[in-house]
Amino acid sequence: MRSNKFTPALFCAIIFCFACNNKPAASKFEDVQSSRLLVDEAASNTVGVDDDELSIPDTTALLGAYFTDKLVKKANIKFSIDSVAMTRSRIREIIVKYDGYIEAETEDRNDYSWNLATTVRVPQESFMATVYDLTSLAKTLDYKNISARNVYIDYMVAQMQENAGNPVPEGQRGTNTELAISRQIGAKAQLLRLDDAIKWSTVKLEVYRETPYMPAPQPTFFMELKDALSSGVMILGDFILFFARYLFVLLLAIMVYWVSKLLYRKYKLVKPGK
């Protein structure tokens, strides 16, 4: 009897839940249509945009100053050239064009190559343009390495260290205070170094021109005869110089010999008369 009374109530509850969880067919159709309209509107707003632009997120907009304002940019470039003098002139033109300066320059020439190493500092906003123009001078590019390091955290830590603590009167300073002041000075120096590295990007450029191999000429008979005569003259000169160095010793030895011989004869002549 209890089961018969419970069955109608359970059946009504199941129908009520089903009705609440399922929308009518008309409502479902309206939802699908509205979704399609949203998709079509989004597609119309992206007309003329390349697929690459859609797939790459705008990191500048996402990260803002955190990513772009505190970057230390560096580049290392090496390539071969045809003329060192002409390339040196073009490098200076590019540096002047982008308001940069030469921090260091080294030139080396040997039997195999003529090398020119230059360290260039340019404003950060002209970094990539400078790298592009310098690379365009290459005859054969050996390598090109570009890096951008975010020093935002280092910069903020240095700022906090610089601003930590309040000035203490001279009479109340102790060991800890002096240590804090020295840390503040170090933090200030670190900020100056970071500001310089951020403002001025560094490009290390190495160019070279290979020297063509020139085989040594084969000596002729007259060349060998000339070398033989030169060697003989050198030997004769060394022999004369040897005796010239010890001439005084030889003269002294001869003098001692003759004096000894005279004394011996005098002694031999005087001895029988005694």
Same domain, 40 and 74: no
Count Cβ atoms below 10 Å from residue 205 Cβ, excluding itself: 24
- pLDDT recorded at residue 66: 52
> What per-residue confidence (pLDDT) applies to 165?
54
Of the listed ranges 111-115, 141-145, 155-159, 259-263, the one predicted with least confidence: 259-263
Among 210, 228, 255, identify where a domain stops. Answer: 210
Return the number of other C-beta atoms located less than 10 Å from residue 120's C-beta. 26
Q: Both 182 and 84 in a single domain?
A: yes
Q: Are residues 37 and 93 in the same domain?
A: no
Reported for 130-137, long-range contacts at CB under 8 A and 24+ positions apart, including other chains, are 130/94, 130/95, 130/98, 130/100, 130/201, 130/203, 131/75, 131/77, 131/203, 133/94, 133/97, 134/77, 134/91, 134/94, 134/203, 134/205, 135/77, 135/79, 137/79, 137/81, 137/87, 137/90, 137/91, 137/207
pTM confidence score: 0.52
Within this chain, do residues 169 and 136 fall inside the same structural domain, yes or no?
Answer: yes
Together in a domain, 104 and 175: yes
Distances 145 to 82, 139, 203 between C-alpha atoms, Å: 22, 17, 10
pLDDT band at 9 (very low <50, low <70, confident <90, very high): low
* pLDDT tens, position by position, 229-256: 888 888 888 878 777 777 777 788 888 8
CA 135 – CA 85 distance, rounded (Å): 17
- 119 lies in the same domain as 201: yes
One-character DSSP codes across 17-45: HHHHHS--HHHHHHHHHHHHHHHHHHHHH
* Same domain flag for 131 and 23: no
% pLDDT > 70, the chain? 66
pLDDT above 80 (res 123): yes
Residue 21: give the domain boundaries: 2-45
Residue 224 within any structural domain of the chain: no
What phi-psi label fits residue 165: left (phi over 0), alpha (psi between -120 and 50 degrees) or beta? left
Q: Is 106 inside a domain boundary?
A: yes
Is the pLDDT score of 40 beyond 70? no
Q: Could you give the residue ranges of the DSSP H alpha helices within 64-174?
A: 65-68, 84-97, 127-135, 152-163
Question: What pLDDT, on the 0 to 100 scale, is given for residue 58?
Answer: 46
The more confidently predicted of residues 136 and 257 is 136
Which of 89-93, 163-167, 246-250 comes out lowest in average pLDDT?
163-167
Tell whether the model's pLDDT for residue 177 goes beyond 60. Answer: yes
pLDDT, tens digit, 9 for 90 and up, residues 133-153: 999 999 999 999 999 999 998
Asked if 75 and 202 sit in the same domain, the reply is: yes
Q: What is the pLDDT of residue 145?
A: 96
28 plus 132 within the same structural domain: no
Using pLDDT thresholds of 50, 70 and 90, give the confidence band for residue 55. very low
Query: Do 73 and 117 fall into the same domain?
Result: yes
- Considering the domain boundaries, does residue 19 fall inside one? yes
11-38 average pLDDT score: 47
- Domain-embedded: residue 171: yes
Do residues 195 and 77 both lie within one domain?
yes
Burial class (CB in 10 A: 0-12, 13-18, 19+), 146: middle
**Average pLDDT score, the chain:** 75
101 belongs to a structural domain: yes
Task: Of 16-20, 104-108, 190-194, give the lowest mean pLDDT range.
Answer: 16-20
Which of 168, 193, 210 is a domain's end point?
Answer: 210
Q: Are residues 93 and 129 in the same domain?
A: yes
Give the residue-averaged pLDDT of 49-58: 42
Which of 152, 186, 210 is the last residue before a domain boundary? 210
Q: Which pLDDT score, from 0 to 100, does residue 47 have? A: 41
- Residue 16: inside a domain, yes or no? yes
Range scoring the smallest mean pLDDT among 87-101, 158-172, 199-213: 158-172
Q: Does a structural domain hold residue 12?
A: yes
Residues 6+ apart with CB under 8 A from 179: none
pLDDT in tens, 20-32: 544 444 444 454 4
pLDDT band at 163; cut points 50, 70, 90:
confident
Number of domains in the chain: 2
Q: Which among 73, 90, 199 has a CA at the least distance from the CA of 128?
A: 73
In a domain, 11, yes or no: yes
